[in-house]
Chain A
Amino acid sequence: MLATIHGVRIRGVCATVPRQVYRFEDELKNFPFPEKTSRRLGKVMGFREHRIADARTTPCDLASYTMNYLFHRGWLRKDRLRAMIVVAQMADHPVPGNSKVMHGQLGLPGEVFCTDVYENCIGFVSGLFTACSYIQAGMEEVALVTTDGGACRANPLDRNTYPLCGDAAAVTVVSRSDDPDDVLHFVFRNDGSRREALMTPAGGCRMPATAETARMFKDEMGNYRSLNHMYMDGTAVFQFVMESVPPLIEELCRYAGVDRSAIQYHLTHQPNRFMLQKLADLLGVPRDILFNNVVENFGNTSSVTIPVATTFNLGKRLLNERFRVCFSAFGAGLSLAAATCRLGGMDFCDLIEHPGNGCIAYTESRALEKGETQGGGAAQPGQE
């Protein structure tokens, strides 16, 4: 599916990561492999440290804290907000949906339209398309919330998935614009026949979670997992991405009338460093314009990786500069999504830390800057 939406701009992005840092080096002893081989794999994949929320902090808490930060700064106003779209794969409760929980947590006016989108790794692009569609339908301003508590579904004994996982939330504010340059082009593709390549088998209606599905077993890779944990056929996913993403971006650029070489930054979903380096090489773009540093600093946060990559790598530059960017994402489904637009001239572009303990009220917490978390300089639990 291809689509174009005129008269919409991304007015700002704010991403929040838990303050709690977990280091791969400390986790090595948990995995059923020699530490030397795990360490070697970690170096290639970018396993260094990741952020996982404490047990009292839910995806809605992370997201509501981010919304309150924006209200506190005056960058978002409850009386201007017309809709809040919450994209997540984990819910605070089976009923009601996350958007209704957040509506209550935030004390939003009754006329704010709140809706939930169940999505995984392509969730940011799907949510952005939904938000842009609402603007086209006549709304002035929409808050796109992406939030993930993916780490709680991973198995701490699984070396192949656990070091990747991270938690985060983001709010992307999408507004009406009169600037003729504010145009977004989208492309989406799905291949449901390959859905088993990335799947959590149990826990839904087809296979309810039971004591039996929770039983741990050693899989063909030598990892311990249960049917309640996420399974990934790494080879199948890798091949899918490498075969599908370059032509997807080519198709998007052709449709948008944008020369591929005009793309200044590729803001891509962040599965691991190796895959992103290979993808950059295959696209024929320098590795430093297709960022690959989110997993090593924060973990793969599913639908929140693109806002984290944007705020961490471009941050304040997006307040005064504008770039032609291409968002692209791929993952469970298997599914693909991409979008291109001019991004910049924003009112805000921040990456902040969540203090933990289920907090939703904004308290002064420091903003993270690029370079601060690299090289072991990350915030420690409890550190201001």
Chain B
Amino acid sequence: MMEEQVLHILKEIQPAYAFEEGVDFIEEGYLDSFDVVTLVSELEEQFSVSISALDIVPENFASVRAVCDLIRRSAAGPR
């Protein structure tokens, strides 16, 4: 469920890319730093979490799984 919602948000931000393919979104250039800013804002709004600035690093946005892990960690409390 969370994975599907994250995938939907990613496609809204960058409709041109197939985020299901399992590549590294940052390495492959699917997401740039400004897309990450938009993504963080959407995640915070849709999942009612606060993502720490220290967690806004490329590896946390490299895959759908990494993003979901970030949401779960952020929901658990501030870093």
Query: Which residues of A approach B to under 8 Å, CB–CB?
Result: 34, 37, 40-41, 43-45, 159-160, 220-222, 233-235, 238-239, 242-243, 274, 278-279, 281-282
Contacts and interface: CB of A to CB of B under 8 A. Distances in A.
B48 interface: no
Nearest to A37: B13
B62 to A, nearest CB: 12
B37 interface: yes
A44 B53 contact: no
Given A220-B29, A238-B33, A281 B52 contact: yes
15 contacts: A34-B15, A40-B13, A40-B38, A40-B42, A41-B34, A43-B41, A44-B38, A160-B32, A160-B34, A222-B32, A235-B36, A239-B56, A239-B57, A242-B56, A278-B53
Contacts of A282: 52-54
A221 B53 contact: no
Nearest to A272: B37
A37 B40 CA distance: 14
Contacts, number: 57
Interface of B: 12-15, 29, 32-34, 36-38, 40-42, 50, 52-54, 56-58
A175 B50 CA distance: 44
A279 B53 contact: yes
B53 A242 contact: yes
Nearest to B61: A235
Interface centre among B37, B50, B53, B54 (most CB of A within 10 A): B53
A279 B14 CA distance: 27
B77 to A, nearest CB: 13
Given A37-B13, A44-B41, A274-B41, A235 B54 contact: no
Given A37-B13, A274-B41, A281-B50, A238 B56 contact: yes
Nearest to B58: A235
A40 B53 CA distance: 20
B9 to A, nearest CB: 11
Contacts of B29: 220
Contact of A44 (B33, B37, B50): B37
Given A37-B13, A44-B41, A221 B56 contact: no
A293 B12 CA distance: 27
Contacts of A233: 33
A241 to B, nearest CB: 8
Closest 9 CB pairs of A and B: A234-B33, A278-B53, A242-B53, A221-B32, A235-B33, A44-B41, A282-B53, A41-B38, A274-B37
A43 B50 CA distance: 17
Contacts of A45: 34, 37
B56 A278 contact: yes
Given A238-B56, A279-B53, A281-B53, 9 more contacts: A37-B14, A40-B38, A43-B41, A45-B37, A234-B33, A235-B36, A242-B53, A274-B40, A274-B41
A147 to B, nearest CB: 28
Contacts of A278: 53, 56
A234 B41 contact: no
Contacts of B50: 281
